[in-house]
Chain A
Amino acid sequence: RKEVEQDPGPFNVPEGATVAFNCTYSNSASQSFFWYRQDCRKEPKLLMSVYSSGNEDGRFTAQLNRASQYISLLIRDSKLSDSATYLCVVNRSNDYKLSFGAGTTVTVRA
């Protein structure tokens, strides 16, 4: 089983729609969780950390479900500029060994 698994998509949504997707992780000892965003042919950039209580950053909401070992990302009122690949990242301990998912591609159309 992969350490981090994501639905590759693509999720094709119209502007203004809401899109949500999950990421599952295999190691129950995982401690830190992140969403990174990667535009086509560009480097990944940190979008947001994911906290146990769930957190929001503008139109983006992240949730963590430790019991079922998944995190989610919800994007409200999608913009064309939200088109990207979203990478789920998990750190299983307090070191540098981050595990990356292969990414979920979102395409927002006009």
Chain B
Amino acid sequence: ETGVTQTPRHLVMGMTNKKSLKCEQHLGHNAMYWYKQSAKKPLELMFVYSLEERVENNSVPSRFSPECPNSSHLFLHLHTLQPEDSALYLCASSQGVPGQGLNEKLFFGSGTQLSVL
């Protein structure tokens, strides 16, 4: 266990569905991240939250909507996704504050394997 819990582990959804991915970290970290990992491709940073404030939105389509209600929880709301959005979605956390010595050592959750039909 890395201290970062993601649910669900697997998700199959149609293009018209709305679903949410959940992430919770028990490490006392103050930065949380969403990454997308497609087959044979590098991890792509989607969003970063530091101290519950979004500090990065890496040109992600609006059909992905993040939410960070507190420093321990992070959500990714999904709606009207496309088949090319099928991928492994990884949540991560780290200590530190961006621009002030953020600790690059990321702790990842187990990921949500998403399939869009």
Name A's B-contacting residues (CB within 8 A).
2, 4, 8, 32, 34, 41-46, 49, 87, 89, 91, 94-103
Contact = CB atoms under 8 A, between A and B. Distances in A.
Contacts, number: 59
A96 B102 contact: yes
B48 A96 contact: yes
A94 B41 contact: no
Contacts of A41: 113
B74 interface: no
A94 to B, nearest CB: 6
A2 B98 CA distance: 24
A84 to B, nearest CB: 14
Contacts of B102: 94-96
Contact of B42 (A4, A34, A42): A4
Interface of B: 2, 31, 33, 40-43, 45, 48, 50, 55-56, 90, 94, 98-99, 101-102, 104-111, 113
A34 B48 CA distance: 20
Contacts of A101: 42
Given A2-B42, A94-B99, 12 more contacts: A34-B104, A41-B113, A42-B110, A42-B111, A43-B2, A44-B90, A49-B105, A95-B98, A96-B45, A96-B48, A100-B43, A102-B40
Contacts of B105: 34, 46, 49
B24 to A, nearest CB: 14
Q: Which 3 A-B pairs have the closest CB atoms?
A: A43-B108, A100-B43, A100-B42
A94 B31 contact: no
A95 B102 CA distance: 6
